[in-house]
Structure 1
Amino acid sequence: MNLSRTDLTVETAEELSAGGRLFAPDSGVQLRESLRCGCPVTCIRVASPAGARAIGRPVGRYVTIDLRPCLARQEELTGRAAQCLAGELRALLPPLAARDTALVVGMGNEAMTPDAVGAEALTHLLVTRHMVDAMPRRFGHLRSVAALRTGVLAQTGVETLELIRGAVSHIRPTVVIAVDALAARSRHRLCATVQLSDAGLTPGSGVGNHRKAVDAAALGVPVIALGVPTVIDGAALCGQEDDAPTGLFVTPRDIDSRVRELGRLIGRGLTLALQPGLSAEEVAALLG
Protein backbone atom coordinates (compact mmCIF):
# COMPACT_ATOMS: atom_id res chain seq x y z
CA MET A 1 0.00 0.00 0.00
CA ASN A 2 1.51 3.35 -1.06
CA LEU A 3 1.00 5.91 1.69
CA SER A 4 0.56 9.62 1.04
CA ARG A 5 3.41 11.95 1.88
CA THR A 6 2.41 13.61 5.15
CA ASP A 7 3.94 14.65 8.45
CA LEU A 8 0.64 14.13 10.26
CA THR A 9 0.44 10.84 12.10
CA VAL A 10 -3.35 11.07 12.18
CA GLU A 11 -3.43 11.07 8.36
CA THR A 12 -1.17 8.03 8.14
CA ALA A 13 -3.39 6.29 10.69
CA GLU A 14 -6.50 7.12 8.66
CA GLU A 15 -5.03 5.47 5.57
CA LEU A 16 -3.85 2.38 7.42
CA SER A 17 -7.05 1.92 9.42
CA ALA A 18 -9.08 2.16 6.20
CA GLY A 19 -7.22 -0.94 5.07
CA GLY A 20 -7.92 -2.74 8.33
CA ARG A 21 -4.27 -2.70 9.38
CA LEU A 22 -4.36 -0.56 12.50
CA PHE A 23 -5.88 -0.23 16.00
CA ALA A 24 -6.25 -3.99 16.52
CA PRO A 25 -5.95 -4.89 20.24
CA ASP A 26 -2.45 -6.29 19.75
CA SER A 27 -1.26 -3.74 17.18
CA GLY A 28 0.66 -1.55 19.62
CA VAL A 29 -1.19 1.54 18.36
CA GLN A 30 -3.91 3.15 20.49
CA LEU A 31 -6.43 5.84 19.59
CA ARG A 32 -8.22 8.31 21.89
CA GLU A 33 -10.52 11.13 20.82
CA SER A 34 -11.72 13.98 23.03
CA LEU A 35 -12.81 17.61 23.06
CA ARG A 36 -10.91 20.43 24.78
CA CYS A 37 -11.98 24.09 24.78
CA GLY A 38 -14.26 23.34 21.84
CA CYS A 39 -11.47 21.85 19.70
CA PRO A 40 -11.51 18.14 18.68
CA VAL A 41 -8.35 16.37 19.88
CA THR A 42 -7.05 13.04 18.57
CA CYS A 43 -4.30 11.24 20.49
CA ILE A 44 -2.49 8.32 18.87
CA ARG A 45 -0.10 6.42 21.09
CA VAL A 46 2.51 4.22 19.47
CA ALA A 47 3.20 1.92 22.40
CA SER A 48 5.60 -0.71 21.08
CA PRO A 49 8.19 -1.41 18.38
CA ALA A 50 5.54 -3.47 16.57
CA GLY A 51 3.25 -0.45 16.58
CA ALA A 52 6.07 1.74 15.31
CA ARG A 53 6.62 -0.62 12.40
CA ALA A 54 2.89 -0.76 11.66
CA ILE A 55 2.43 3.00 11.45
CA GLY A 56 5.92 4.02 10.37
CA ARG A 57 6.48 6.39 13.31
CA PRO A 58 8.73 6.20 16.38
CA VAL A 59 7.29 5.06 19.70
CA GLY A 60 5.58 7.97 21.43
CA ARG A 61 2.43 10.06 21.68
CA TYR A 62 1.04 12.05 18.75
CA VAL A 63 -1.65 14.61 19.56
CA THR A 64 -3.60 16.35 16.79
CA ILE A 65 -5.70 19.44 17.56
CA ASP A 66 -8.32 20.48 15.02
CA LEU A 67 -8.38 24.28 15.12
CA ARG A 68 -11.21 24.80 12.65
CA PRO A 69 -13.83 25.61 15.33
CA CYS A 70 -11.55 28.45 16.51
CA LEU A 71 -10.32 29.94 13.24
CA ALA A 72 -12.75 32.84 12.91
CA ARG A 73 -9.87 35.19 13.88
CA GLN A 74 -11.79 36.50 16.86
CA GLU A 75 -9.91 37.22 20.08
CA GLU A 76 -12.15 34.95 22.16
CA LEU A 77 -11.68 32.01 19.78
CA THR A 78 -7.92 32.57 19.47
CA GLY A 79 -7.66 32.54 23.25
CA ARG A 80 -9.66 29.33 23.44
CA ALA A 81 -7.43 27.62 20.88
CA ALA A 82 -4.32 28.77 22.77
CA GLN A 83 -5.70 27.31 26.00
CA CYS A 84 -6.41 24.03 24.22
CA LEU A 85 -2.85 23.94 22.89
CA ALA A 86 -1.44 24.77 26.33
CA GLY A 87 -3.44 22.01 28.01
CA GLU A 88 -2.34 19.34 25.55
CA LEU A 89 1.28 20.51 25.70
CA ARG A 90 1.34 20.36 29.50
CA ALA A 91 0.28 16.72 29.31
CA LEU A 92 3.37 15.93 27.21
CA LEU A 93 5.91 17.96 29.18
CA PRO A 94 8.17 16.24 31.71
CA PRO A 95 7.87 17.39 35.34
CA LEU A 96 9.40 20.87 35.58
CA ALA A 97 10.80 22.34 38.79
CA ALA A 98 10.61 26.07 39.49
CA ARG A 99 14.23 26.69 38.41
CA ASP A 100 14.20 24.47 35.31
CA THR A 101 14.71 25.98 31.86
CA ALA A 102 12.74 25.22 28.71
CA LEU A 103 14.37 25.83 25.33
CA VAL A 104 11.93 26.64 22.51
CA VAL A 105 13.40 26.22 19.03
CA GLY A 106 11.88 27.91 15.99
CA MET A 107 12.92 25.82 12.99
CA GLY A 108 12.63 26.48 9.28
CA ASN A 109 13.41 29.18 6.74
CA GLU A 110 11.73 32.41 7.81
CA ALA A 111 12.42 33.91 4.36
CA MET A 112 9.91 31.41 2.90
CA THR A 113 6.50 32.16 4.37
CA PRO A 114 5.13 28.57 4.51
CA ASP A 115 8.28 27.55 6.39
CA ALA A 116 8.26 30.49 8.82
CA VAL A 117 5.87 29.09 11.45
CA GLY A 118 8.66 28.35 13.93
CA ALA A 119 10.30 31.75 13.63
CA GLU A 120 6.93 33.54 13.79
CA ALA A 121 5.93 31.65 16.94
CA LEU A 122 9.07 32.87 18.74
CA THR A 123 8.09 36.51 18.15
CA HIS A 124 5.01 35.85 20.30
CA LEU A 125 6.74 33.83 23.03
CA LEU A 126 7.48 35.22 26.49
CA VAL A 127 11.26 34.71 26.79
CA THR A 128 12.43 35.00 30.39
CA ARG A 129 15.78 33.27 30.96
CA HIS A 130 17.80 36.49 30.88
CA MET A 131 15.43 38.21 33.31
CA VAL A 132 15.27 35.30 35.75
CA ASP A 133 19.08 35.03 35.77
CA ALA A 134 19.69 38.77 36.17
CA MET A 135 16.94 39.61 38.68
CA PRO A 136 15.76 36.41 40.38
CA ARG A 137 13.98 38.26 43.19
CA ARG A 138 11.85 40.24 40.77
CA PHE A 139 11.25 37.57 38.12
CA GLY A 140 11.75 34.36 40.09
CA HIS A 141 8.04 33.58 39.84
CA LEU A 142 8.47 33.05 36.09
CA ARG A 143 9.83 29.86 34.54
CA SER A 144 13.11 30.28 32.68
CA VAL A 145 12.40 30.11 28.93
CA ALA A 146 14.99 30.56 26.18
CA ALA A 147 14.43 30.73 22.42
CA LEU A 148 16.55 29.80 19.41
CA ARG A 149 15.98 30.37 15.70
CA THR A 150 17.93 27.84 13.69
CA GLY A 151 17.36 28.87 10.09
CA VAL A 152 18.10 26.09 7.60
CA LEU A 153 21.26 24.35 6.45
CA ALA A 154 21.45 26.33 3.19
CA GLN A 155 21.51 29.60 5.17
CA THR A 156 23.87 28.64 7.99
CA GLY A 157 25.96 25.72 6.74
CA VAL A 158 25.21 24.09 10.09
CA GLU A 159 22.78 21.24 10.66
CA THR A 160 19.76 22.21 12.75
CA LEU A 161 20.57 19.41 15.18
CA GLU A 162 24.12 20.73 15.65
CA LEU A 163 22.86 24.22 16.50
CA ILE A 164 20.34 22.89 18.99
CA ARG A 165 22.89 20.53 20.53
CA GLY A 166 25.26 23.46 21.08
CA ALA A 167 22.54 25.48 22.81
CA VAL A 168 21.52 22.50 24.94
CA SER A 169 25.10 21.90 26.09
CA HIS A 170 25.38 25.52 27.28
CA ILE A 171 21.88 26.26 28.58
CA ARG A 172 21.19 22.76 29.94
CA PRO A 173 17.40 22.89 29.57
CA THR A 174 15.09 20.32 31.10
CA VAL A 175 13.08 20.11 27.88
CA VAL A 176 13.36 21.24 24.26
CA ILE A 177 10.24 22.26 22.34
CA ALA A 178 10.81 22.29 18.57
CA VAL A 179 8.35 24.27 16.42
CA ASP A 180 8.28 23.65 12.67
CA ALA A 181 6.09 23.77 9.57
CA LEU A 182 4.72 20.44 8.32
CA ALA A 183 3.26 18.92 5.16
CA ALA A 184 -0.28 17.51 5.06
CA ARG A 185 -2.23 15.26 2.73
CA SER A 186 -5.69 16.80 3.22
CA ARG A 187 -6.58 20.34 2.19
CA HIS A 188 -8.87 20.91 5.16
CA ARG A 189 -5.93 20.43 7.55
CA LEU A 190 -3.74 23.14 6.00
CA CYS A 191 -3.08 25.85 8.61
CA ALA A 192 -5.93 24.37 10.67
CA THR A 193 -4.21 21.59 12.62
CA VAL A 194 -1.54 21.45 15.31
CA GLN A 195 0.40 18.25 15.90
CA LEU A 196 2.25 17.66 19.17
CA SER A 197 4.54 14.72 19.83
CA ASP A 198 6.98 13.59 22.50
CA ALA A 199 8.91 11.58 19.89
CA GLY A 200 10.78 14.54 18.40
CA LEU A 201 10.86 15.28 14.67
CA THR A 202 12.94 15.05 11.50
CA PRO A 203 13.19 18.46 9.78
CA GLY A 204 12.10 18.49 6.14
CA SER A 205 10.77 14.94 6.11
CA GLY A 206 7.37 15.91 4.74
CA VAL A 207 8.86 17.58 1.67
CA GLY A 208 11.47 14.93 0.95
CA ASN A 209 14.39 16.88 2.47
CA HIS A 210 15.33 14.67 5.40
CA ARG A 211 17.79 16.13 7.92
CA LYS A 212 19.10 14.65 11.15
CA ALA A 213 16.38 13.82 13.67
CA VAL A 214 15.87 16.18 16.60
CA ASP A 215 14.86 13.89 19.46
CA ALA A 216 15.74 12.81 22.98
CA ALA A 217 18.28 10.26 21.75
CA ALA A 218 20.21 12.98 19.91
CA LEU A 219 20.00 15.70 22.58
CA GLY A 220 19.89 13.82 25.87
CA VAL A 221 16.79 15.70 27.08
CA PRO A 222 13.08 15.24 26.31
CA VAL A 223 12.02 16.80 23.00
CA ILE A 224 8.46 17.91 22.29
CA ALA A 225 7.68 18.57 18.62
CA LEU A 226 5.00 21.10 17.67
CA GLY A 227 4.06 21.51 14.04
CA VAL A 228 1.44 23.04 11.77
CA PRO A 229 0.92 21.88 8.16
CA THR A 230 1.30 24.75 5.71
CA VAL A 231 1.85 22.86 2.44
CA ILE A 232 0.37 19.88 0.64
CA ASP A 233 2.13 17.68 -1.91
CA GLY A 234 0.87 18.58 -5.40
CA ALA A 235 0.66 14.88 -6.29
CA ALA A 236 -1.61 14.21 -3.31
CA LEU A 237 -3.78 17.16 -4.30
CA CYS A 238 -4.20 15.76 -7.81
CA GLY A 239 -4.58 12.13 -6.76
CA GLN A 240 -1.35 11.16 -8.54
CA GLU A 241 0.64 9.87 -5.56
CA ASP A 242 1.81 6.76 -7.41
CA ASP A 243 3.68 8.90 -9.93
CA ALA A 244 7.32 9.96 -9.56
CA PRO A 245 7.82 12.86 -7.08
CA THR A 246 7.52 16.26 -8.76
CA GLY A 247 8.80 18.48 -5.97
CA LEU A 248 5.63 20.57 -6.31
CA PHE A 249 4.00 21.74 -3.08
CA VAL A 250 0.91 23.91 -2.75
CA THR A 251 0.12 26.44 -0.04
CA PRO A 252 -2.91 28.72 0.59
CA ARG A 253 -2.88 32.07 -1.21
CA ASP A 254 -3.29 33.94 2.10
CA ILE A 255 -0.42 32.06 3.74
CA ASP A 256 1.18 35.32 4.98
CA SER A 257 -1.73 36.22 7.23
CA ARG A 258 -2.30 32.61 8.26
CA VAL A 259 1.29 32.14 9.41
CA ARG A 260 1.14 35.39 11.39
CA GLU A 261 -2.06 34.26 13.11
CA LEU A 262 -0.70 30.77 13.77
CA GLY A 263 2.53 32.19 15.18
CA ARG A 264 0.53 34.34 17.58
CA LEU A 265 -1.61 31.38 18.65
CA ILE A 266 1.37 29.05 19.13
CA GLY A 267 3.41 31.64 21.02
CA ARG A 268 0.52 32.32 23.36
CA GLY A 269 -0.17 28.61 23.87
CA LEU A 270 3.48 27.89 24.62
CA THR A 271 3.62 30.72 27.13
CA LEU A 272 0.48 29.51 28.90
CA ALA A 273 1.91 25.99 29.12
CA LEU A 274 5.32 27.10 30.40
CA GLN A 275 4.16 29.83 32.77
CA PRO A 276 1.52 28.25 35.03
CA GLY A 277 1.68 31.27 37.33
CA LEU A 278 0.22 33.54 34.65
CA SER A 279 -3.45 33.63 33.70
CA ALA A 280 -4.70 33.63 30.12
CA GLU A 281 -5.61 37.30 30.51
CA GLU A 282 -2.11 38.19 31.76
CA VAL A 283 -0.46 36.33 28.89
CA ALA A 284 -2.71 38.06 26.35
CA ALA A 285 -1.86 41.45 27.87
CA LEU A 286 1.88 40.74 27.88
CA LEU A 287 2.07 39.36 24.35
CA GLY A 288 -0.63 41.45 22.67
Structure 2
Amino acid sequence: MDLRRTDLAMEARELWQERAGQAAELPGVQAEERERAGMPVTVVRVLDKTGERALGKPRGTYITLTLEGVETRADGAFPRAVEAVAAELGALLEQVDLDRGPVLVAGLGNRAITPDAIGPLVHDCTLVTRHLVGRMPEQFGHLRPVASVAAEVMGSTGLESRELVASVCQSIRPCCVIAVDALASRSLGRLCRTVQLADTGISPGSGVGNHRAALDQESLGVPVLAVGVPTVVEGATLAADLLGADCLPQSAPGRDILVTPRDIDRQVADLSKILGYGISMALQPSLGLEELELLLS
Protein backbone atom coordinates (compact mmCIF):
# COMPACT_ATOMS: atom_id res chain seq x y z
CA MET A 1 0.00 0.00 0.00
CA ASP A 2 1.35 3.46 -0.96
CA LEU A 3 1.51 5.47 2.24
CA ARG A 4 3.54 8.39 0.90
CA ARG A 5 1.91 11.47 2.35
CA THR A 6 0.96 14.69 0.59
CA ASP A 7 -1.68 17.38 1.01
CA LEU A 8 -1.30 18.60 -2.57
CA ALA A 9 -3.88 17.39 -5.09
CA MET A 10 -1.39 17.68 -7.96
CA GLU A 11 1.00 15.34 -6.10
CA ALA A 12 -1.80 12.89 -5.30
CA ARG A 13 -2.49 12.81 -9.04
CA GLU A 14 1.21 12.24 -9.76
CA LEU A 15 1.30 9.32 -7.32
CA TRP A 16 -1.76 7.74 -8.96
CA GLN A 17 -0.15 8.07 -12.40
CA GLU A 18 3.13 6.56 -11.14
CA ARG A 19 1.23 3.52 -9.90
CA ALA A 20 -1.06 3.16 -12.92
CA GLY A 21 1.31 4.33 -15.65
CA GLN A 22 1.64 7.77 -17.19
CA ALA A 23 -0.64 6.86 -20.11
CA ALA A 24 -3.49 5.71 -17.85
CA GLU A 25 -6.56 7.90 -17.68
CA LEU A 26 -7.51 8.98 -14.18
CA PRO A 27 -11.31 8.62 -13.88
CA GLY A 28 -13.30 11.37 -12.20
CA VAL A 29 -10.44 13.88 -12.36
CA GLN A 30 -9.60 16.66 -14.80
CA ALA A 31 -6.29 18.50 -14.90
CA GLU A 32 -4.86 21.42 -16.82
CA GLU A 33 -1.72 23.54 -16.78
CA ARG A 34 -1.39 27.23 -17.54
CA GLU A 35 0.35 30.39 -16.32
CA ARG A 36 -0.67 33.35 -14.18
CA ALA A 37 1.59 36.43 -13.96
CA GLY A 38 4.42 34.28 -15.28
CA MET A 39 3.93 31.66 -12.56
CA PRO A 40 3.10 28.04 -13.54
CA VAL A 41 -0.39 26.95 -12.48
CA THR A 42 -1.75 23.40 -12.22
CA VAL A 43 -5.51 22.96 -11.80
CA VAL A 44 -6.90 19.61 -10.61
CA ARG A 45 -10.67 19.14 -10.51
CA VAL A 46 -12.10 16.19 -8.60
CA LEU A 47 -15.45 15.61 -10.28
CA ASP A 48 -17.13 12.70 -8.53
CA LYS A 49 -16.80 9.89 -5.99
CA THR A 50 -14.53 7.94 -8.31
CA GLY A 51 -12.10 10.84 -8.35
CA GLU A 52 -12.41 11.24 -4.58
CA ARG A 53 -11.41 7.60 -4.04
CA ALA A 54 -8.54 7.83 -6.53
CA LEU A 55 -6.92 10.93 -5.00
CA GLY A 56 -8.21 10.76 -1.44
CA LYS A 57 -9.43 14.35 -1.80
CA PRO A 58 -12.98 15.72 -1.54
CA ARG A 59 -14.77 16.85 -4.65
CA GLY A 60 -13.79 20.34 -5.77
CA THR A 61 -11.15 22.48 -7.48
CA TYR A 62 -7.49 22.52 -6.41
CA ILE A 63 -5.20 25.19 -7.85
CA THR A 64 -1.43 24.91 -7.32
CA LEU A 65 0.80 27.90 -8.01
CA THR A 66 4.55 27.42 -8.37
CA LEU A 67 6.18 30.60 -7.08
CA GLU A 68 9.26 30.75 -9.27
CA GLY A 69 11.94 33.16 -8.12
CA VAL A 70 10.45 33.82 -4.69
CA GLU A 71 12.92 31.65 -2.78
CA THR A 72 15.89 33.51 -4.29
CA ARG A 73 14.08 36.86 -4.11
CA ALA A 74 14.53 37.35 -7.84
CA ASP A 75 13.74 40.79 -9.22
CA GLY A 76 9.97 41.21 -9.65
CA ALA A 77 9.13 37.81 -8.14
CA PHE A 78 7.31 39.21 -5.09
CA PRO A 79 4.76 41.41 -6.95
CA ARG A 80 4.17 38.68 -9.55
CA ALA A 81 3.56 36.12 -6.81
CA VAL A 82 1.12 38.44 -5.04
CA GLU A 83 -0.68 39.12 -8.33
CA ALA A 84 -0.93 35.40 -9.11
CA VAL A 85 -2.33 34.52 -5.66
CA ALA A 86 -4.81 37.40 -5.84
CA ALA A 87 -6.01 36.45 -9.32
CA GLU A 88 -6.45 32.74 -8.60
CA LEU A 89 -8.19 33.40 -5.29
CA GLY A 90 -10.35 36.01 -6.98
CA ALA A 91 -11.49 33.39 -9.49
CA LEU A 92 -12.56 31.07 -6.64
CA LEU A 93 -14.36 33.96 -4.93
CA GLU A 94 -16.60 34.29 -7.99
CA GLN A 95 -18.47 31.25 -6.61
CA VAL A 96 -19.38 33.24 -3.48
CA ASP A 97 -22.12 35.85 -3.02
CA LEU A 98 -19.83 38.49 -1.54
CA ASP A 99 -22.74 40.87 -0.90
CA ARG A 100 -24.20 38.62 1.82
CA GLY A 101 -21.75 39.68 4.52
CA PRO A 102 -18.12 40.20 5.45
CA VAL A 103 -15.33 37.80 4.58
CA LEU A 104 -13.58 36.04 7.45
CA VAL A 105 -9.90 35.13 7.06
CA ALA A 106 -8.83 32.42 9.52
CA GLY A 107 -5.11 31.89 10.05
CA LEU A 108 -4.61 28.37 11.42
CA GLY A 109 -1.49 27.02 13.07
CA ASN A 110 1.04 27.58 15.84
CA ARG A 111 3.26 30.66 16.04
CA ALA A 112 5.69 28.76 18.27
CA ILE A 113 6.52 26.19 15.54
CA THR A 114 7.93 27.98 12.50
CA PRO A 115 6.77 25.51 9.79
CA ASP A 116 3.25 25.73 11.27
CA ALA A 117 3.22 29.53 11.66
CA ILE A 118 1.97 30.36 8.16
CA GLY A 119 -1.66 30.91 9.22
CA PRO A 120 -1.05 33.26 12.19
CA LEU A 121 1.53 35.26 10.20
CA VAL A 122 -0.85 35.63 7.25
CA HIS A 123 -3.40 36.94 9.75
CA ASP A 124 -0.88 39.66 10.64
CA CYS A 125 -0.46 40.58 6.95
CA THR A 126 -4.15 40.75 6.05
CA LEU A 127 -5.96 44.07 5.64
CA VAL A 128 -8.97 44.05 8.00
CA THR A 129 -11.71 46.55 7.18
CA ARG A 130 -14.96 45.40 8.81
CA HIS A 131 -14.66 47.87 11.68
CA LEU A 132 -13.79 50.74 9.33
CA VAL A 133 -16.63 50.04 6.90
CA GLY A 134 -19.11 49.74 9.77
CA ARG A 135 -18.06 52.84 11.71
CA MET A 136 -16.93 55.21 8.95
CA PRO A 137 -18.85 54.27 5.81
CA GLU A 138 -18.33 57.69 4.24
CA GLN A 139 -14.57 57.19 4.12
CA PHE A 140 -14.33 53.40 3.80
CA GLY A 141 -17.65 52.27 2.34
CA HIS A 142 -15.96 51.44 -0.98
CA LEU A 143 -14.00 48.63 0.69
CA ARG A 144 -15.25 45.10 1.24
CA PRO A 145 -15.70 44.31 4.96
CA VAL A 146 -13.03 41.81 6.02
CA ALA A 147 -12.38 40.35 9.45
CA SER A 148 -9.47 38.13 10.45
CA VAL A 149 -8.71 35.77 13.32
CA ALA A 150 -5.63 33.74 14.27
CA ALA A 151 -7.16 30.42 15.30
CA GLU A 152 -4.14 28.93 17.03
CA VAL A 153 -3.67 25.44 18.40
CA MET A 154 -5.74 23.82 21.13
CA GLY A 155 -2.72 23.69 23.42
CA SER A 156 -2.67 27.49 23.69
CA THR A 157 -6.39 28.26 23.43
CA GLY A 158 -8.18 25.19 24.85
CA LEU A 159 -10.40 25.33 21.78
CA GLU A 160 -10.55 23.39 18.53
CA SER A 161 -9.83 25.69 15.58
CA ARG A 162 -13.25 24.80 14.22
CA GLU A 163 -14.92 25.80 17.51
CA LEU A 164 -13.22 29.18 17.48
CA VAL A 165 -13.93 29.90 13.80
CA ALA A 166 -17.53 28.65 14.13
CA SER A 167 -18.11 30.99 17.07
CA VAL A 168 -16.85 33.97 15.06
CA CYS A 169 -19.03 32.90 12.13
CA GLN A 170 -22.11 32.85 14.38
CA SER A 171 -21.27 36.36 15.56
CA ILE A 172 -20.45 38.19 12.32
CA ARG A 173 -22.30 36.00 9.75
CA PRO A 174 -19.64 36.02 7.01
CA CYS A 175 -20.40 35.22 3.39
CA CYS A 176 -17.39 32.89 3.33
CA VAL A 177 -14.26 31.87 5.21
CA ILE A 178 -10.74 31.86 3.78
CA ALA A 179 -8.73 29.39 5.88
CA VAL A 180 -4.92 29.48 5.70
CA ASP A 181 -2.68 26.69 6.97
CA ALA A 182 0.59 24.82 6.48
CA LEU A 183 0.60 21.66 4.35
CA ALA A 184 2.83 18.65 3.73
CA SER A 185 4.42 17.79 0.39
CA ARG A 186 5.99 14.59 -0.95
CA SER A 187 8.86 16.55 -2.51
CA LEU A 188 11.61 18.78 -1.16
CA GLY A 189 11.44 20.76 -4.39
CA ARG A 190 7.95 22.01 -3.60
CA LEU A 191 8.53 23.09 0.00
CA CYS A 192 7.85 26.82 0.38
CA ARG A 193 7.68 27.13 -3.43
CA THR A 194 4.04 26.27 -4.05
CA VAL A 195 0.64 27.52 -2.91
CA GLN A 196 -2.50 25.40 -3.08
CA LEU A 197 -5.90 27.08 -3.23
CA ALA A 198 -9.07 25.02 -3.00
CA ASP A 199 -12.83 25.45 -2.64
CA THR A 200 -13.19 22.36 -0.45
CA GLY A 201 -12.28 23.59 3.04
CA ILE A 202 -9.33 22.41 5.10
CA SER A 203 -8.27 20.13 7.97
CA PRO A 204 -6.24 22.24 10.44
CA GLY A 205 -2.82 20.91 11.35
CA SER A 206 -2.61 18.47 8.45
CA GLY A 207 0.74 19.82 7.35
CA VAL A 208 2.46 19.00 10.64
CA GLY A 209 0.64 15.70 11.18
CA ASN A 210 -1.87 16.99 13.73
CA HIS A 211 -5.19 16.54 11.95
CA ARG A 212 -8.10 18.31 13.67
CA ALA A 213 -11.79 18.73 12.89
CA ALA A 214 -12.30 19.98 9.33
CA LEU A 215 -13.35 23.51 8.46
CA ASP A 216 -15.73 23.27 5.52
CA GLN A 217 -19.17 24.35 4.39
CA GLU A 218 -20.81 21.46 6.22
CA SER A 219 -19.25 22.38 9.57
CA LEU A 220 -19.43 26.19 9.31
CA GLY A 221 -22.53 26.72 7.18
CA VAL A 222 -20.73 28.99 4.67
CA PRO A 223 -18.34 28.34 1.78
CA VAL A 224 -14.75 27.73 2.92
CA LEU A 225 -11.84 28.46 0.61
CA ALA A 226 -8.50 26.98 1.62
CA VAL A 227 -5.06 28.49 1.07
CA GLY A 228 -2.06 26.37 2.02
CA VAL A 229 1.70 26.24 1.64
CA PRO A 230 3.71 23.00 2.01
CA THR A 231 6.41 23.58 4.62
CA VAL A 232 7.32 19.99 5.61
CA VAL A 233 7.97 16.54 4.13
CA GLU A 234 7.43 13.44 6.21
CA GLY A 235 10.73 11.59 6.70
CA ALA A 236 9.48 8.25 5.40
CA THR A 237 7.81 9.89 2.40
CA LEU A 238 11.03 11.72 1.55
CA ALA A 239 13.02 8.49 1.78
CA ALA A 240 10.60 6.69 -0.54
CA ASP A 241 10.73 9.57 -3.02
CA LEU A 242 14.53 9.75 -3.03
CA LEU A 243 14.88 5.96 -3.35
CA GLY A 244 12.19 5.68 -6.00
CA ALA A 245 10.24 3.21 -3.88
CA ASP A 246 6.64 2.65 -4.91
CA CYS A 247 5.38 2.10 -1.38
CA LEU A 248 6.37 1.85 2.26
CA PRO A 249 5.10 -0.38 5.06
CA GLN A 250 3.03 1.24 7.77
CA SER A 251 5.83 0.46 10.25
CA ALA A 252 8.53 2.19 8.19
CA PRO A 253 10.79 4.45 10.29
CA GLY A 254 10.47 8.17 9.71
CA ARG A 255 6.71 8.44 10.16
CA ASP A 256 7.25 10.76 13.14
CA ILE A 257 9.98 12.84 11.51
CA LEU A 258 9.20 16.01 9.56
CA VAL A 259 11.83 17.60 7.31
CA THR A 260 11.80 21.35 6.65
CA PRO A 261 14.23 23.81 4.95
CA ARG A 262 17.12 25.18 6.98
CA ASP A 263 16.03 28.79 6.37
CA ILE A 264 12.36 28.06 7.11
CA ASP A 265 11.98 31.20 9.23
CA ARG A 266 12.86 33.49 6.32
CA GLN A 267 10.80 31.55 3.82
CA VAL A 268 7.72 31.44 6.05
CA ALA A 269 7.99 35.20 6.65
CA ASP A 270 8.21 35.88 2.89
CA LEU A 271 5.36 33.52 2.00
CA SER A 272 3.09 34.86 4.74
CA LYS A 273 3.47 38.34 3.31
CA ILE A 274 2.76 37.10 -0.22
CA LEU A 275 -0.38 35.28 0.94
CA GLY A 276 -1.61 38.11 3.16
CA TYR A 277 -1.17 40.67 0.41
CA GLY A 278 -2.62 38.34 -2.23
CA ILE A 279 -5.71 37.64 -0.13
CA SER A 280 -6.14 41.35 0.56
CA MET A 281 -5.83 42.27 -3.12
CA ALA A 282 -8.34 39.58 -4.09
CA LEU A 283 -10.81 40.99 -1.57
CA GLN A 284 -10.04 44.65 -2.32
CA PRO A 285 -9.46 44.78 -6.09
CA SER A 286 -9.48 48.59 -6.04
CA LEU A 287 -6.22 48.63 -4.07
CA GLY A 288 -2.79 48.17 -5.59
CA LEU A 289 0.29 46.63 -4.02
CA GLU A 290 1.82 49.99 -3.05
CA GLU A 291 -1.40 51.06 -1.31
CA LEU A 292 -1.56 47.78 0.58
CA GLU A 293 2.03 48.13 1.74
CA LEU A 294 1.25 51.60 3.09
CA LEU A 295 -1.90 50.41 4.87
CA LEU A 296 -0.25 47.32 6.38
CA SER A 297 3.11 48.83 7.32
The TM-score with structure 1 as length reference comes to: 0.94
CA distance in 1, matches of 2:265, 2:98: 37
How many angstroms apart in 1 are the aligned matches of 2:49 and 2:272? 34
Identity in percent: 48
1:51-80 deviation line (CA, Å, top 9, x unaligned): 111111100001100012443325621011
Per mean C-alpha deviation after superposition, the further-off stretch among 90-99 and 267-276 is 90-99
Tell whether 2:269 aligns with 1:260. yes
Moved more, 231-240 or 81-90: 231-240
Q: Deviations over 1:228-285 (max 9, x none)?
A: 0111111122228431553111111111111111111111100110001212332233
TM-score of the aligned structures, taking structure 2 as reference length? 0.91
Name the counterpart of 2:260. 251
Q: How does 1:123-138 map to 2 (within 5 A)?
A: 123-138=124-139
Over 3 Å counting, the alpha-carbon distance change for 1:76 and 1:152 in structure 2 is same
- Report the alpha carbon displacement of residue 17 of structure 1 after superposing the two structures with TM: 1.4
Structure 2 alignment gaps of length 5 or more: none
Contact conserved, 2:46 with 2:61, CA < 8 A, in 1? Answer: yes
SS class of match (1:191): coil
1:15 aligns with 2:15: yes
SS at match of 1:68: coil
Q: Is residue 2 from structure 1 mapped to residue 2 from structure 2 by the alignment? A: yes
1:21 offset after TM fit, Å? 7.2
**Cross-structure match for 1:63:** 63
CA distance in 1, matches of 2:82, 2:158: 34
Cα distance change, pair 97–186 in 1 and its aligned pair in 2 (3 A): closer
Corresponding residue of 1:139? 140
Q: Which moved more, 1:276-285 or 1:164-173?
A: 276-285
User: Using the alignment, how far apart are the partners of 1:255 and 1:188 within structure 2?
Assistant: 14
Give secondary structure in 2 for the equivalent of 1:19. helix
- 1:71, 1:78 within 8 Å by CA — same for their partners in 2? no
Q: Which residue of 2 aligns with 1:182?
A: 183
Would the aligned equivalents of 1:39 and 1:70 in 2 still touch at CA under 8 Å? no
What's the CA shift for 1:99? 6.9
Q: Residue 170 of structure 1 corresponds to which residue in structure 2?
A: 171
Residue aligning to 2:48 = 48
8 Å contact 1:113–1:256 — kept in the other structure? yes
Deviation at 1:97, TM superposition (A): 4.0
Q: Which residue of structure 2 lines up, in the alignment, with residue 270 of structure 1?
A: 279
One-letter amino acid of the counterpart of residue 287, structure 2: L
Report whether the alignment pairs 1:35 with 2:44: no
Is the contact made by 1:5 and 1:233 (CA closer than 8 Å) also made in structure 2?
Answer: yes
Q: Aligned AA for 1:230?
A: T
Report which stretch shifted further, 278-287 or 8-17.
Answer: 278-287
- Seen in structure 2, the aligned counterparts of structure 1 residues 220 and 238 have a Cα distance that, compared at 3 Å, is same
Residue 194 (1) aligns with residue 203 (2): no
CA contact (8 A) 1:3 1:12 kept: no
- Unpaired runs of 5+ residues, structure 1, are none
Q: Is the 8 A contact 1:102 1:173 kept in 2?
A: yes
* AA matched with 1:107: L
The aligned residue for residue 76 of structure 1 is 76
